[in-house]
Structure 1
Amino acid sequence: MFPTSALKLRDDLARGEISSRELTEHYLNRIEQHQDLGAFVHVADDAMAAAAAADEAQVRSETGRLHGLPTAFKDLNDVTGMPTTYGSAAIDHPVATRDHSLVERLRAEGVVILGKTQVPEFGLSSHSENLVNPPSRNPFDLKRSSGGSSGGQAAAVAAGLIPLGPGSDGGGSVRIPAAACGLIGLKPSLGRVPSDVLDGYVDPLGAPKLAVSGPLAHDALDAALLLDAMRGKDHYLPLLQGSYPQRLTDLNIGFSAHSPFESVYDISLSVEARTAFERGLEILGGQRHRVQPAQLEYATDYPQTFATVWTNGLKDVPVNDESLLGELARDFRRRAAGRTLEQNLQAGSRLKQIAADFVRQWSAYDVIATPAMASIPPLIGHYTQSTADHDYMLQCQYTPYTSMVNVASVAAITIPVTTTEDGLPMSIQLISPRSDEGLLLALAAQMQV
Structure 2
Amino acid sequence: AGESPGDRAGLVVAGPLSRSAADAALLLDALAPPEPGRPGYLERTGQAPPPLRIGVSLDSPWQAAYPIAPEPEALAALAAGIDLLERAGHRTGEASIRYDNRYPAAFTTAWTAGVGSARIPPQREPLLTPLTRTFRRRAQQRSAAKLEEALSFLRTFQRDTLAQYGAWDLMLMPALAQTPRPVGWFTGAVHGDGYWPAAEWAGDADEDYRRQCQFAPWSSMINVCGLPAISIPVHWTGGRPGEGLPMGIQLVGPMGSEALLLQVAAQLGY
TM-score (normalised: structure 1): 0.53
Given candidates 229, 232, 239, the residue that maps to 2:44 is 239
Q: Is 2:137 the partner of 1:334? A: yes
Deviation at 1:326, TM superposition (A): 0.6
Deviation at 1:211, TM superposition (A): 1.0
Give the distance between the partners of 1:276 and 1:434, measured in 2 at CA: 25
Q: 1:206 to 1:356 in 2, by over 3 A?
A: farther
Runs of 4+ in 1 over 2 A off after TM superposition: 203-208
Q: Is 2:101 the partner of 1:280? A: no
Q: Alignment length, in residue pairs? A: 246
**Runs of 5+ unmatched residues, structure 2:** 189-202
The match for 1:411 is 228
- SS at the partner of 1:215? coil
Amino acid in the other structure paired with 1:431: V
- SS at the partner of 2:59? coil
Identity percentage of aligned residues: 40
**Runs of 5+ unmatched residues, structure 1:** 1-196
Q: 1:353 to 1:207 in 2, by over 3 A?
A: farther
Deviation at 1:318, TM superposition (A): 1.6
Give the distance between the partners of 1:274 and 1:256, measured in 2 at CA: 11
**What are the residue-to-residue correspondences of 1:338-377 with 2, within 5 Å?**
338-377=141-180
- SS at the partner of 1:212? coil
Given candidates 210, 213, 224, the residue that maps to 2:14 is 213
Whether the aligned pair in 1 keeps the contact of 2:53 and 2:169 (CA below 8 Å) is yes
Deviation at 1:358, TM superposition (A): 1.0
The match for 1:316 is 117
Whether the aligned pair in 2 keeps the contact of 1:205 and 1:348 (CA below 8 Å) is no
Whether the aligned pair in 1 keeps the contact of 2:112 and 2:139 (CA below 8 Å) is yes
Give the distance between the partners of 1:269 and 1:381, measured in 2 at CA: 21
Given candidates 235, 257, 263, the residue that maps to 1:442 is 263
Deviation at 1:208, TM superposition (A): 3.8
The match for 1:267 is 68
Amino acid in the other structure paired with 2:125: E
Give the distance between the partners of 1:408 and 1:209, measured in 2 at CA: 9
The match for 1:73 is none
What are the superposed Cα offsets for residues 114-143 of structure 1, whole Å, 9 maximum, x if unpaired?
Answer: xxxxxxxxxxxxxxxxxxxxxxxxxxxxxx
Whether the aligned pair in 2 keeps the contact of 1:369 and 1:430 (CA below 8 Å) is yes
Amino acid in the other structure paired with 2:249: I
Deviation at 1:295, TM superposition (A): 1.5
Deviation at 1:397, TM superposition (A): 0.4
Amino acid in the other structure paired with 1:435: G
Whether the aligned pair in 1 keeps the contact of 2:6 and 2:118 (CA below 8 Å) is no
Give the distance between the partners of 1:289 and 1:280, measured in 2 at CA: 11
Give the distance between the partners of 2:6 and 2:114, measured in 1 at CA: 10
Whether the aligned pair in 1 keeps the contact of 2:161 and 2:225 (CA below 8 Å) is yes
Given candidates 30, 35, 51, the residue that maps to 1:229 is 30
Amino acid in the other structure paired with 1:337: Q
What are the superposed Cα offsets for residues 253-294 of structure 1, whole Å, 9 maximum, x if unpaired?
Answer: 000011110011010111111100111011101111110000
The match for 2:198 is none
Given candidates 386, 393, 397, the residue that maps to 2:214 is 397
What are the superposed Cα offsets for residues 323-373 of structure 1, whole Å, 9 maximum, x if unpaired?
Answer: 111111100000000011111111111111011111111011000001100
Say what the alpha-carbon RMSD is for the aligned residues.
1.6
Larger RCO (CA within 8 A; separation ≥ 6): 2
Whether the aligned pair in 1 keeps the contact of 2:74 and 2:174 (CA below 8 Å) is yes
Deviation at 1:249, TM superposition (A): 3.4
Give the distance between the partners of 1:218 and 1:399, measured in 2 at CA: 21
- SS at the partner of 1:261? helix
- SS at the partner of 1:337? helix
**What are the residue-to-residue correspondences of 1:17-416 with 2, within 5 Å?**
197=1, 199-200=2-3, 208-233=9-34, 235-241=40-46, 244-245=47-48, 248-320=49-121, 321-385=124-188, 386-416=203-233
Amino acid in the other structure paired with 2:215: Y
